[in-house]
Amino acid sequence: MQTSTALLRADPRLSRFDPLERIVYFDDFDDGYNGWVGLIGNYEGSLDTMLPGYQQLMQPMLSNVTHWDTGSHGSFDGTYCLKTATRPVKGHQNVTIKRVTFRRLGRIQFECYFCFKPEANRMELSELDVRSIGVLFDLQHGEGGAQRVMPHLRYLNAQDGVPMQKWQYKHRRQPIHGIGSSGKTVSHYHLAPEGWDDVPGGAQRLCYNEVPTKINWHYLKVGFDLQAMAFTGLRCNDREFDVGGMQPMTMPAMANLWCMLNVCLFVETDADRRAFFYVDSALLSGDF
């Protein structure tokens, strides 16, 4: 066994991940927010210049997953996890982001342990009240034809009360709008409901458990190649999916975003109830 592998296996917090050669960050939310914040839409001169989709977004919170019947559930291996929550309005979304930059073009990989539930304010399972949860990268490079690339993935749990239970990706983007009058700021709402396609063979049933307050943690791994700007892998729990035909969202490069390597977590509710997306811990690694 290689020394690096042995060291990972010896740390119980890291041994449940499968990182690439170098760990860029490992965030255990028992230690705090670790740089994860609410997504703020672009504005100029006034917050009212944000596109409507961004005006709905709120800050994440640290949660010990407290419920009325079981008390404090806690996270996967501690007390706190990161919670992204919607408002109690059908179709409402919320997004949490961590912003870093990359050192070289190569493979990257994001892993996390997650679960999702609607707010437990009814004594019924409500397994169809969360519409979707997902993860996306927001990337930009300047080599070989500069472009901004935004690989999106989501687990579509339900749509208008109908179970869907499948993974989807998004490569069709919304129109880009100018913000303000300086000509320096543009925006587009990339999480608009239109434009999602099914991941090939992407149907998957996740553990939801039997009552509103029971949760089970799931493993997610997403791989992407910054040089080829292509997906390299998608795994959730025991399923690994074919990403060969999946295209990321692309657009012209934008000013001031060079070497950008952002990761976003997002959630959407399918009912007039708050939907919660919990992440216990997250790890970003790279092949460099």
Judged on CB neighbours under 10 Å (0-12, 13-18, 19+), 86 is: buried
CB 106 within 8 A of CB 120: no
pLDDT of residue 271: 98
Share of the chain above pLDDT 90, in %: 84
Q: Name the least confident of 9-18, 53-62, 254-263.
A: 9-18
Look at residue 224 and tell me whether its pLDDT is greater than 70: yes
pLDDT of residue 241: 98
Q: What is the mean pLDDT of residues 183-188?
A: 85
List, for residues 42-56, the tens digit of each pLDDT value: 999 999 999 999 999
CA distance 278 to 81: 6
Count of Cβ atoms closer than 10 Å to residue 227 Cβ: 13
pLDDT of residue 144: 67
CA distance 197 to 82: 28
CA distance 217 to 115: 5
Those residues whose C-beta lies under 8 Å from the C-beta of residue 179, and which sit 6 or more positions away, are 42, 43, 44, 49, 50, 51, 185, 186, 187
Report residue 2's pLDDT band, with 50, 70 and 90 as the boundaries. Answer: low
CA angle 33/260/138 to nearest 5° reads 75
Look at residue 1 and tell me whether its pLDDT is greater than 90: no
Q: What is the mean pLDDT of residues 18-37?
A: 96
List, for residues 136-147, the tens digit of each pLDDT value: 999 998 776 789
pLDDT of residue 145: 72
Structural domains of the chain in order of their starting residue, each with its CATH number:
18-279+282-286 (2.60.120)
Residue 30, SS3 per DSSP: helix
pLDDT of residue 30: 96
Average pLDDT along the chain: 94
List, for residues 169-185, the tens digit of each pLDDT value: 999 988 888 888 887 88
- The DSSP bridge pattern shows strands 196-203 and 185-187 to be unpaired
pLDDT of residue 137: 98
Look at residue 105 and tell me whether its pLDDT is greater than 70: yes
Look at residue 88 and tell me whether its pLDDT is greater than 60: yes
Q: Residue 13 carries which DSSP code?
A: T
Q: What is the mean pLDDT of residues 222-249?
A: 96
Report residue 247 as tokens. 């295209």
Those residues whose C-beta lies under 8 Å from the C-beta of residue 259, and which sit 6 or more positions away, are 101, 102, 103, 140, 141
pLDDT of residue 3: 60
Give phi and psi for 6, each to the nearest 5.
-65, -40
Q: What is the DSSP code string of 77-146?
A: SSS-EEEEE--SSTT-EEEEEEEEE-SSSSEEEEEEEEEEEE---SSS--TTSEEEEEEEEEEEE-SSS-
